[in-house]
Amino acid sequence: MKKILIIEDETSIAELERDYLEINGFSVALEQTGDAGLKRAKTEEFDLIVLDLMLPKVDGFEICRQIRNDKDVPILMVSAKREDIDKIRGLGLGADDYITKPFSPGELVARVKAHIARYERLRGGREPKNDIISIRGLRIDKSARRVYVNEAEVVFTTKEFDLLVFLAMNPNRVFSKEELFDKIWGMDSFGDIATVTVHIKKVREKIEMDTSNPQYIETIWGAGYRFKV
């Protein structure tokens, strides 16, 4: 199911957009302030973003600019004023399309579908986001071997990174220390299963807000560890 993020502060418009997109088979996330929308856009993967221009806290121009800095996702800008459209074009912010209020929900859905299809053609069926694991505030870039917690990069050792990626790619499954040792350290003769405990602790210190109440890597007593999604 394709995921759409709507950033729109007017509740009636936001809900109308969401309802029509959902009826048309999209999964929709909704944020009603600029800062919350920007955070969501940066930390989660979406197939398209419907972005209102006038928003509290951070406006649509700034959001578009920031998303474009690090993401390749179609952005459909929504504005109440036709003059804004010229401004968006003039600024060269990289928005893919513009739509002025009032618009018909059918028009919105048609544009959303067209842009998602166009991006898929451009990617040529490649799925670059397979290299990115994004869960709440945690983002793991597998090909670059980098980890970001709430957009701040955190440095991982090789084994810490391998352990985190392995767990994150097999969510909701419990792995014993022996299994993890086997998977991550394999033939390396260094260490023993106590190494797993030490590495889990280090990974938690890097990704968890509160290591005594972990939100990502849970301890299942007597069984092992489980990555929670």
Q: What residues make contact with Ca ion under the rule CB under 5 A?
A: 9, 52, 54
Neighbours of 149 (CB within 10 A): 17
CB 60 within 8 A of CB 7: yes
Residue whose CB is less far from Ca ion, 32 or 134: 32
The nearest distance, CB 54 to Ca ion, in angstroms, is: 4
Please state the closest distance from residue 52 (CB atom) to Ca ion, in A: 4
* 198, two tokens: 């030490």
Half-sphere exposure of 182 (CA within 13 A, CB side): 5
Structure token pair of residue 40: 């969501």
Cβ atoms 75, 95 nearer than 8 A: yes
What minimum distance in Å lies between the beta carbon of 71 and Ca ion? 22
- Would you say 10 or 97 has its CB closer to Ca ion? 10
Q: Which residue's CB comes closest to Ca ion?
A: 54
Rounded Cα distance, 63 and 39, in Å: 9
Q: How far is the CB of 13 from Ca ion (least distance, A)?
A: 8
Pick between residue 101 and residue 173 the one whose CB is nearest to Ca ion.
101
204, 200, 163, 201: which is closest to 183 by C-alpha?
163
DSSP state of 167: H
Q: Which is nearer to Ca ion, 21 or 77 (CB)?
A: 77
**Nearest to Ca ion of 80, 91 (CB atom):** 80
Within a 10 A sphere around the Cβ of 159, how many other Cβ atoms? 19
Burial class (CB in 10 A: 0-12, 13-18, 19+), 131: exposed
Nearer to Ca ion, 99 or 114 (CB): 99
Smallest gap from residue 87 Cβ to Ca ion (A): 15
Q: How far is the CB of 217 from Ca ion (least distance, A)?
A: 39
